[in-house]
Amino acid sequence: MQYDVIIIGAGHNGLTTAAYLARAGRNVLMLERRDIVGGCAVTEEVDPELAPGCRVSTASYIASMLRPTIIKDLKLGSYGLKMVACDPGVQAAFDDGDVVGWWSDEDRMRAELSRVAPHDIHTFFETEEELKKLAAYLQPFFLESPPDLNAKGLDKISQAWRLYRRFGGIKSDEVSGLLRFLTGSLGEFLDQRFESDKLKRLILSNSLYGKHGGPYQPGTAMGLLFHLLSGGDSEQQAWQGHVIGGMGAITQAMKSACEDLGVEIRTGASVTQVNVANGTATGVTLDGGDVIDAKVVVSNADPKRTFLGLVESNELSAEFRRDIANIRMNGPAGKVNFVLSEEPQVNGMPVDRSKPQRSLFTLIPSLREAEDNYNACQRGDIPERLWVDCVLASNVDDTLAPEGRHMLTCFVQYLPYELRDGNWDTQREPLGNRVTELISRFAPNVPASVVARRVITPPDLEAQFGITEGNIFHGDISLEQMFFMRPLPKWSQYKTPVDGLYLCGAGTHPGGGVTGAPGYNAAKAILRAR
């Protein structure tokens, strides 16, 4: 049987592409090498033997920019998707026993700032308003292809008109502000605007996840804008949410939507090659040797895995392969997931915080320490003062674990993909020990309450989820690898040098995070072309 479309990889972007293509009447087959769909957005047991029934979002762990359009179009709510807003959206625990939250309610945020940053209150709200306005200019580009620098004729005019509509009303000071945030240093921006170290660290804690570069590196201010894009059912700016059932509930809802639309999904089906004849994709070959034909092949894998692993080298130019190989990957992050016998008792956590409000606590270094962490990571060293973001998901979602068990998932920023000394096989558990020890400084009851633990290093992310060098974004989120530069300037429109082969993953515009936007845009590009 020949399919209209084969999609390689059933991550959330692949599922999104499949659903929209099936809605348009295409006969779609999805092939996933793992036994479950979801890619990095999955909910799994930490340790089935030591802690049966205790589940956590293995890799991605908080929903923020999942596009409301996709939620509505695919009717994900009808398939069980439920998200609960995080409030505070960010919460930092400090060495002096203080806990500071970033609240959505202005009055509550003012009260928090009056305690830790009284001289920064006016500047904080002024800055937040400025950032939201600038982020709103970027918002529309998420669900459309980036500007095509190679467009000609009427297409070129159309591109110019689209940009004019998006930016025609922008003021001169907003232009300079947008450029400053896209190219500037987060650390310098915070130092210039704010006095309070705690406020600066609170803002830092939500701005550089999974990104290369310390806070004083050029281009790191971009994170301030990206985390103010909208999300959730109501398209609220800066929205972040817990997903009931873990992040896997998103992709399970997408899977159900796809199946109801007629998509055939095969798990345990590893693709070893994209078959090409006369410069055109004709289908794929599976690990066992089976060949499946299709008119179109769409890869949800990252660009390096796709072009350097699945397509024969003689089907691509040496220049193209070199440019793909030069995409910056080597993911700088890992995870440590815990099953605990009791809730962490965080030093200084206000007694009036509800269980959901106690579900977040980031152990954030200072700006200078974060810069040192990144430099150590670049040398292949594990930083001395780790940066750990902790989410106690079971405080919001009691479906994740039986009574008496608590699920803590920890994102660890600035870990080297390759260690200068030793290797991750020997350093995996020592990293877990260091994360546990750091948490114990802020929540002393945690070490004795650990029932089970799973440490996931950058190479583990690569091995388990098939993301090259463990990069959760399929390529660094930096200006030179964003918008019409992603994955490459000549190939930013989801199509590739192989006719009939497309990309739909996070390695394309607009990048990483569980947004569904790359998959949506890829589907639209395919339908326009075919």
> Tell me, what DSSP letter sits at residue 280?
E
**Rounded to whole angstroms, how far apart are CA atoms 529 and 493?**
11
| Stretch 372-391: mean pLDDT | 96
**Rounded to whole angstroms, how far apart are CA atoms 402 and 166?**
49
**Residue 17 clears pLDDT 90, i.e. is over it:** yes
| Stretch 40-52: mean pLDDT | 98
Q: Which of 506, 326, 330 is nearest to 414 (CA)?
A: 330
Q: Per-residue confidence at 346, pLDDT binned at 50, 70, 90?
A: very high
| Stretch 325-337: mean pLDDT | 94
**What percent of the chain lies above the pLDDT cut of 70?**
98
Opening angle at CA 212, ends 70 and 249, nearest 5: 30
pLDDT, the chain, mean: 93
Return all residues near 135 (Cβ < 8 A) that are at least 6 apart: 225, 226, 228, 229, 237
Each residue's pLDDT tens digit, 365-381: 999 999 999 999 999 99
Q: Is the dihedral of CA 48, 54, 60, 65 positive or negative?
A: positive
Q: Which of 113-127, 316-330, 379-393, 469-483 has the lowest mean pLDDT?
A: 469-483
**Residue 512 clears pLDDT 80, i.e. is over it:** yes
Q: Per-residue confidence at 85, pLDDT binned at 50, 70, 90?
A: very high
pLDDT, position 1: 67
Each residue's pLDDT tens digit, 227-257: 777 677 767 777 889 999 999 999 999 999 9
Q: Which of 72-86, 196-210, 363-377, 491-505 has the lowest mean pLDDT?
A: 196-210
Q: Which of 224-238, 404-418, 469-483 has the lowest mean pLDDT?
A: 224-238
pLDDT, position 230: 66
pLDDT, position 234: 66
| Stretch 148-154: mean pLDDT | 80
Q: pTM of the full predicted structure?
A: 0.95
| Stretch 377-393: mean pLDDT | 96
Question: Where are the domains positioned within the chain?
Answer: 3-43+69-83+245-327+475-529, 114-239, 330-470
Are 267 and 34 in contact, with CB atoms under 8 Å apart? yes
**Rounded to whole angstroms, how far apart are CA atoms 187 and 204?**
8
| Alpha-carbon separation of residue 411 from 201, 205, 343, 430, 475 (angstroms) | 17, 11, 18, 16, 18
Give CA torsion, residues 270, 273, 275, 279, to 10 deg.
140
The fold of the 3-43+69-83+245-327+475-529 domain, in CATH, is: FAD/NAD(P)-binding domain (3.50.50)
Return all residues near 5 (Cβ < 8 A) that are at least 6 apart: 18, 21, 26, 27, 28, 29, 294, 295, 296, 297, 298, 526
Q: Per-residue confidence at 164, pLDDT binned at 50, 70, 90?
A: low
Q: Which of 526, 510, 520 is nearest to 19 (CA)?
A: 520
| Alpha-carbon separation of residue 28 from 154, 293, 315 (angstroms) | 32, 11, 25
Tokens of 167: 């930016």
**Rounded to whole angstroms, how far apart are CA atoms 272 and 276?**
13
